[in-house]
Structure 1
Amino acid sequence: NLDIIIIGINPGLFAAYKGHHYAGPGNHFWKCLYLSGLTSEQMTADEDYKLLQVGIGFTNMVQRATKGSADLTRKEIKEGSQILLEKLQHFKPKIAVFNGKLIFEVFSGKKDFNFGRQPDLVDGT
């Protein structure tokens, strides 16, 4: 059981090649994660497996790797959103973190929202 699930739109090509989340050389994810206080040490993408030990995991709305999210089809995004909802309902992480405004807009269907904690969208999460 995960305390926190971090949700991306889909893997980038470099992350897919490396086999690690947020692996691009210019990606600030790992530094931001550390600065947020969720980890006690600065990690790299190669150490993403360590997050499972502290109850943090990853998933993506769409599993297909692309150069950018603009390369995804509407069908992929719609189907991926439904699959993501089913995952959240089944696994019930305590917190679902949507990494980016676009992915939350797509998942929730809301365009008007503030960043930060949202009202419950999925029972148990």
Structure 2
Amino acid sequence: MTPEELNAARDRTVPDVAAGGLRVLFCGINPSLTTAATGHHFAHPGNRFWPVLHRSGFTPRRLLPSEQSELLPLGLGITNVVPRATARADEVDAEEFREGGAALTERVESLAPAWLAVVGITAYRTAFGEPRARIGRQERTIGGARVWALPNPSGLNAHWTVETMAEEYARLREAASEGA
């Protein structure tokens, strides 16, 4: 992608990969410019979502962002807290996160997934007013779905490796499989 193509994607939205009754609806922070330019979630080359999803056992093989529709038959989907694309998540302010959290709650009520998995603890804390939330299963439900906060798979999140993220995502997969 050229810098011009990426810049033209600023503030675009990307359609959700979603359907009613999913096992897990993964929720990103907001689309990257690469995601907005391609129309494929977690499309930035440095994003580790797709390898982590596979290593955690959610998918039978590593999917490419362009194969995102293959998630639906697996009972999985993707949405975002904030729909507009930015170069960096820190371009989204707290008010926009809170507004995104309210809109996400309505979307989750409509789609009725069993689990909502927010990939980014800071986004979760801000969007839902949970400043002490930690990675893992949350006590609250959102729109009727149980909630799990996952580490952000962005390549900028150096605190988590692919392996340690896959372990946390696998904990969610096990809970979603058990119906717990």
Q: Same fold (TM over 0.5)?
A: yes
2:58 aligns to what? 38
Return the alpha-carbon distance in structure 2 between the equivalents of residues 114 and 83 of structure 1: 22
1:110 aligns to what? 130
- Runs of 5+ consecutive residues of structure 1 not aligned to the other structure: none
Q: Residue 77 of structure 2: SS of its match in structure 1?
A: strand
Given the alignment of the two structures, is residue 120 of structure 1 paired with residue 140 of structure 2, yes or no? yes
1:81 aligns to what? 101
Q: Is the 8 A contact 1:31 1:42 kept in 2?
A: yes
Percentage of identical aligned residues: 34
TM-superposed deviation, 1:7:
0.5
| Larger Cα-atom Rg | 2
Return the alpha-carbon distance in structure 1 between the equivalents of residues 23 and 45 of structure 2: 27
Q: Residue 78 of structure 2: SS of its match in structure 1?
A: strand
2:78 aligns to what? 58
- Runs of 5+ consecutive residues of structure 2 not aligned to the other structure: 1-20, 146-180
Q: Is the 8 A contact 2:97 2:123 kept in 1?
A: no
Q: Deviations over 1:59-103 (max 9, x none)?
A: 111111000111124432222111011111222210100101112
Return the alpha-carbon distance in structure 2 between the equivalents of residues 73 and 120 of structure 1: 23
2:173 aligns to what? none
TM-score scaled by length of structure 2:
0.65
Q: Which has the higher contact order (CA 8 A, sep 6+)?
A: 1
Return the alpha-carbon distance in structure 1 between the equivalents of residues 53 and 86 of structure 2: 23
Q: CA RMSD in A?
A: 1.4
Q: How many residues get paired?
A: 125
TM-score scaled by length of structure 1:
0.91
Letter matched to residue 106 of structure 1: T
Q: 1:49 aligns with which of 29, 54, 69?
A: 69
Return the alpha-carbon distance in structure 2 between the equivalents of residues 16 and 72 of structure 1: 15
Larger deviation: 36-45 or 74-83? Answer: 74-83
